[in-house]
């Protein structure tokens, strides 16, 4: 009900903002923003508001799911409905705030099948789950070439709490042609622990610490490149606790994972303007961790401007990964580490997508009305597909 | 169009698919922690 009320609310925000300067006599306002809003140097000034609505529909099977035969793969059917709101405001000349509120409404076949065997109110709640995040980031511009970022957030859902906080810095060199960034982020997750029959066994937690450093370089007047390296260290319960593993005895047992994980990722990005009013965006990511997963992801986006206000884009992404050394679809009973999670299996995935994006100049309080419509199709080599549709409305003041 | 990355809310919803459906999340500035029922 809350989500649908948001759907009704979003278009009205756009309408009210677009007509913000209409007067009783019908004439347009002749006052500038600066004349209407006196500047004292510290007041909040709205820069943009972005509202996005996404829907995910997933189908497929995985051996961790109990929504199927005892030893066979079970259903991974999942639907997610996800509204997001992002507000960006400046405060004087030096401070910039970003407030971001994503929500998720999820229904999922796998926990649903657990609750059917032994219903309880907590795991029952996770069959149909609502979650939300409040995330606030502030950037302080120390000088034209040096900025600092502070970031904090809280995530709430029925059986899950998560807190995060981080800090970072950005330094520009060579007349802003080179930008170096560095940051750290800590996350603490605190969540219900279930056995695979749906019974609850108190609470458990995990922590994640991430550090990253990157360089962005303007290579030519029409080419920008970025390289970023990141390291994450995790400790605690690293699974969702209700995933199961088929055992050679003909029954299912719980997933058994290590309690530590160290992850490395190296990312390269490239943006190239094309002379026919188009642009190419390339992305490559190498990933390795101490569970034995090695992954490569390659993505390309082509965009073509059709009119000064409208462009279209197409996307293709390919991903391949190895599995952890303890991945199995039928584990011996004596195995001390085991997972049958299809997300951790050796796999290849593909994403294809297309979008239409518009930026329409308007008169009044709002200067630009931004809109996007996009569809992506995600499909994996181990029986999983996803349809993703998203649309967004943005107001730039 | 010439940005190196997608608009932030678009990047989030796309990255969420990859982070939750592929065992290779995190390590590049995005958190590998956090969570939701779709994990």
pLDDT in tens, A54-66: 999 999 999 998 8
Residues of B in contact with A214 (CB under 8 A): 29
Taking 60 as the threshold, does the pLDDT of residue A161 lie above it? yes
CB contact under 8 A, B38 and A376: no
Closest partner CB to A131 (pick from B1, B2, B36) = B36
Q: What is the pLDDT of residue A125?
A: 37
Region label for A60, one of left (φ > 0), alpha (ψ between -120 and 50) or beta (otherwise): left
> Span A371-384, mean pLDDT?
96
> Span A239-265, mean pLDDT?
93
Distance CA A182, CA A187 (A): 17
The pTM of this model reads 0.85
Report chain A's mean pLDDT, rounded to a whole number: 87
CB contact under 8 A, B21 and A108: no
**Residue that has been written with the tokens 């996007």 in this structure:** A372
A339 touches A346 (CB < 8 A)? no
Q: Which residue has the higher pLDDT, A112 or A389?
A: A389
CB contact under 8 A, B38 and A106: yes
- Would you call A52 an interface residue with chain B, using a CB distance cutoff of 8 Å? yes
Strand partners, A312: A304, A356
- Confidence bin at A155 (pLDDT 50/70/90): very high
Distance CA B26, CA B28 (A): 6
Closest partner CB to A267 (pick from B7, B10, B28) = B28
Give this complex's ipTM. Answer: 0.87
Strand partners, A61: A75
- At residue A324, the 3 state secondary structure works out as coil
CB contact under 8 A, B32 and A208: yes
Distance from CA of A29 to the nearest CA of B (A): 31
Residues of B in contact with A216 (CB under 8 A): 4
């Amino acid at each position: 009900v809350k989500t649908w009320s948001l759907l009704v609310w979003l278009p009205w925000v756009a309408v009210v903002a677009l007509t913000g300067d209409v007067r009783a006599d019908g004439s347009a306002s002749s006052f500038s923003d600066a004349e209407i809003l006196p500047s004292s140097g510290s007041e909040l000034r709205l820069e943009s508001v972005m509202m996005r609505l996404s829907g995910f529909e997933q189908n497929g099977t995985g051996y961790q799911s109990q929504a199927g035969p005892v030893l066979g793969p079970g259903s991974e059917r999942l639907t997610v409905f996800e509204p997001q709101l992002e507000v960006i405001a400046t405060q004087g000349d030096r401070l910039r705030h970003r407030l971001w509120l994503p929500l998720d409404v999820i229904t999922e076949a796998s926990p649903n099948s657990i609750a059917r065997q032994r219903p309880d109110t907590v795991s029952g709640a996770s069959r149909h789950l609502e979650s939300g995040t409040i995330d606030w980031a502030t950037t302080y511009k120390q000088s034209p070439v040096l900025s600092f970022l502070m970031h904090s957030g809280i995530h709430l859902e029925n059986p899950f709490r998560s807190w995060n906080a981080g800090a970072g810095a950005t330094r520009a060199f060579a007349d802003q042609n080179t930008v170096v960034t560095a940051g750290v982020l800590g996350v603490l997750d605190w969540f219900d622990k279930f056995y695979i029959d749906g019974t609850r066994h108190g609470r458990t937690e995990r922590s994640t610490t991430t550090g990253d450093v990157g360089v962005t370089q303007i290579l030519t007047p029409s080419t920008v490149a970025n390289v970023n390296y990141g390291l994450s260290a995790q400790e605690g319960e690293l699974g969702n606790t209700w995933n199961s593993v088929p055992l050679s005895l003909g029954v299912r047992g719980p997933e058994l994972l290590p309690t530590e994980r160290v992850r490395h990722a190296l990312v390269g990005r490239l943006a190239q303007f094309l002379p026919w009013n188009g642009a190419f965006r390339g992305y490559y990511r190498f990933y390795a961790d101490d569970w034995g997963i090695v992954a490569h992801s390659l993505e390309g986006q082509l965009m073509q401007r059709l009119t000064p206000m409208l462009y279209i884009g197409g996307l293709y992404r390919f991903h391949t990964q190895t599995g952890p050394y303890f991945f199995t679809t039928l584990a011996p009973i004596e195995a001390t580490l085991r997972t049958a999670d299809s997300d951790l299996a050796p796999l290849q995935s593909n994403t294809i997508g297309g979008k239409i994006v518009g930026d329409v100049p308007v008169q009044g309080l709002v200067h630009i009305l931004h809109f996007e419509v996009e569809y992506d199709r995600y499909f994996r080599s181990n029986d999983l597909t996803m349809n993703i549709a998203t649309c967004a409305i943005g107001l730039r003041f | 169009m010439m940005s190196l990355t997608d608009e932030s809310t678009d990047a989030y919803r796309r990255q969420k698919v990859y982070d939750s459906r592929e065992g290779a999340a995190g390590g590049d500035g995005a958190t590998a922690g956090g969570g939701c029922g779709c994990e």
